[in-house]
Structure 1
Amino acid sequence: MKRRVYVVMEKATQGDLASLVFDIFILGLILLNVGLVVVETVDDYQRAYHKWFELFEMVSVFIFSVEYALRIWSCTADSKYGHAIYGRLRFMKTPLALIDLVAIFPYFLVLFFTVSANFTLPLRLLRLFRLFKLGRYSRSMRLFGQVLWYKREELYVVVFVLSIMLVSVSSLMYFVEHKAQPDNFSSIPATMWWGIVTLTTVGYGDIFPVTPLGKFLGAL
């Protein structure tokens, strides 16, 4: 039984009707969830269908929770996760299992704990993580995830270097422009917005240097 559940949910084989039905059902549920997260942000729809949105969310979380529990229960059918405790812990630390957990975690956090109103919206938006569950069903997304994992050390170096550049350039610009524009360049963290826009070449233009030295630094 455990082996069959694991095969249906994790190791689907071509021609397996149960695996196909399960995959199509979960895929459809994921897409509906993401679509409703988007629709919920429209005030008119939110007011008119609030109860239906909550009901659908409750049903979805129940299904995703059962799915997550079954994956953890059945993973020991795979020799990689054979140990009853450590094998399951190893499985729970895999990227796709972590995504499954994040997809349901916000609902239970709000359900069992008092959450500040300031954090309610970010927690609800975390439901968009369910979109990443599609990675389990898309070969290209799985390949992309594997590339990110194998090249993680190089990515860490890139992020580290960019962070140093951002802090250094923003600090210099703050000291150069603060007196001329105390509102725009009020602090180093505030100046980092200019740094991010400059480094990413987005060019929003809402904050820009006006002093000769600041313009020279920005041109670099």
Structure 2
Amino acid sequence: MEKNKGFNEFRSKLFRVISVGYLGDFPSVVYDVIGSAALVLNLVAAVLSTFDDVQSVCGSVLEQVEYWTVLFFAIDYIFRAICAKCMYPDKSEFKAFIAYFFSLLGIIDLLSFLPYYLPVFFPAGATAFRMFRVARVLRLFRINAYYDSLNVITEIIKNKAQQLLSSVFIIAVMMLASSLCMYSLEHEAQPDVFENAFSGIWWAASTLLTVGYGDIYPVTIMGKVFGIILAFLGVLIVAIPTGIISAGFVEQYTKLKHMGDYSKSIDMHFIKIQLSTKDKWVNKKVREVELPHGALIAMIQRQGNTIIPNGNIVFEPGDKVVIGAQALKNDTPMNLKEVTLGPTHPWNDKFIKDLNFPRQTILLSIKRDSRTIVPKGGVKLKQGDTIVVISKVHLPEEDEIQV
């Protein structure tokens, strides 16, 4: 049991290091810098190695850069596989690893280093394996986690996924119909050019998407007329997904711009809580936390930084969470009072059940050091306790709070 507890603590610390770092979290920030530098160096080396002049002069240096950066990718993958349980806290150890293994980022991480080592075991496939190294370029998407502007693009694609798929479907239908029509019109005149329907699809794709390579083109009168019509349709069709994404950008930035006015427009109240290692929210994602209707997680403060929460943010011990709730209409504000028990306070060293509270006073909670104690009859009050009550009468040493 102790071994499992120690391993879980080690894994939590490791997960915090390999996750996106925040100012004040020095090991995590250093790991992020090393990871970004390794990726940039690897890509630079991959590009420079394609130049014969550079390869002849700096070939050994480029090989060393690739060796060490790929080794880092392999170690990073092992770390993330070990911390899969932290990424998927609701799954078992094995299912969490499988979920990471088959996730998009997991596949990219695996292909970042595996093709480099496969030729050692399968020399005959060295050329094919080398082609898979292009997956390292996809690791650039990990940088998306560091910049809110790139996260906006991800949010737009998610929110507009159905509209984008619909536009792609329309383009695919138009390409298929156009290829069959052009094949029928041009096959007899150019049997070597429009050999089959696939030749027509290639022409339709280059025309509809306004690329126009010019390697395949119609020569008959009807073919040219149809090509002109399709070129005009291509401009209109390509504008559909462009317009969807542009509208998504406007909506997203307008939402972010007016988010600060949200609390004023609907009159919200906010509270701040700090998470400890024992809280149920720790290691859970924001979208996995159930809140009452009308309540929302407005902000997370971590290591002195402010995080605007999205569904994938994972709560960590020590996070300060700001929770907002819409004010009830025609609601009368409650006046809460805090009473700190000084050395001469009459409630010192007395049980709650023995206190004679006024009828207009209700004891809500007791704050003792860093703990919050639920008030019960068997709880003894001590010097230094801070008691929160609802009361319409005067209490000694009280501080009033309006909620």
Q: What TM-score do the two structures reach when normalised by structure 2?
A: 0.49
- 1:101 and 1:158 mapped to 2: Cα distance? 33
Specify the alignment match of 1:141 in structure 2: 150
**How far did residue 210 of structure 1 move?**
1.4
Q: Note the 1:40-189 alignment, pairs <5 A.
A: 40-78=49-87, 80=89, 82-113=91-122, 114-115=124-125, 117=127, 119=128, 122-189=131-198
Q: CA deviation at 1:81?
A: 5.1
The Cα RMSD (Å) is 2.5
Q: What is the deviation of 1:11?
A: 4.8
Secondary structure of 1:86's counterpart equals helix
Q: Which has the higher strand share?
A: 2
- Say whether residues 1:191 and 2:191 are aligned partners: no
Any unmatched runs of 5+ in structure 1?
none
Please say which of residues 201-210 and 43-52 is displaced more in the overlay: 43-52
Q: Match of 1:115, as an amino acid?
A: G
1:4 paired to 2:10: no
Corresponding residue number in structure 1 for 2:213 = 204
The whole-number CA distance in structure 2 between the counterparts of 1:167 and 1:50 is 47
- Among candidates 16, 20, 39, match of residue 48 of structure 2: 39
Instruction: Give 1:70 shift.
Output: 0.4
Q: Equivalent pairs: percent with the same residue?
A: 31
Matched letter for residue 199 of structure 2? A
Contact 2:178/2:200 (8 A) holds in 1: no
Shift of 1:122: 3.0
Which protein is bigger by CA-based radius of gyration?
2
The separation in 2 between residues aligned to 1:32 and 1:50, in whole angstroms, is 14
Corresponding residue SS for 1:201: coil
Determine helix, strand or coil for the equivalent of 1:209: coil
SS state at 1:179 partner:
coil
For residues 90 and 150 of structure 1, what CA distance do their matches in structure 2 show?
24
Bigger Cα displacement from structure 2, 38-47 vs 141-150: 141-150
How far apart are residue 150 of structure 1 and its match?
4.5
In the TM superposition, what is the alpha-carbon distance from 1:18 to its structure 2 partner?
1.0
Following superposition, the deviation at residue 165 of structure 1 comes to: 1.8
CA positional deviation for 1:120: 5.3
Aligned length: 219
1:118-154 superposed Cα distances (whole Å, 9 cap, x missing partner): x356334333223333223333333323433444444
Q: Contact 2:45–2:65 (CA<8 Å) still a contact in 1?
A: no
- The structure-2 alpha-carbon separation of the partners of 1:121 and 1:185, relative to structure 1 and needing over 3 Å to count, comes to farther
After superposition, the Cα gap between the structure-2 partners of 1:27 and 1:104, relative to the gap in structure 1 and judged at 3 Å, is same
Q: 1:35 to 1:116 in 2, by over 3 A?
A: closer
Q: Structure 2: how far apart are the matches of 1:186 and 1:110? A: 40
Contact in 1 for aligned 2:18/2:28 (Cα 8 Å): yes
- Is 1:18 paired with 2:27? yes
Higher relative contact order (CA 8 A, sep 6+): 1
SS at match of 2:93: coil
CA contact (8 A) 2:189 2:219 kept: yes
Equivalent pair of 1:178/1:185 in contact (CA under 8 Å): yes
Which whole-Å CA distance do the structure 1 matches of 2:224 and 2:55 have between them?
47
1:74 Cα deviation after fit:
1.7
Q: 1:81 to 1:103 in 2, by over 3 A?
A: farther
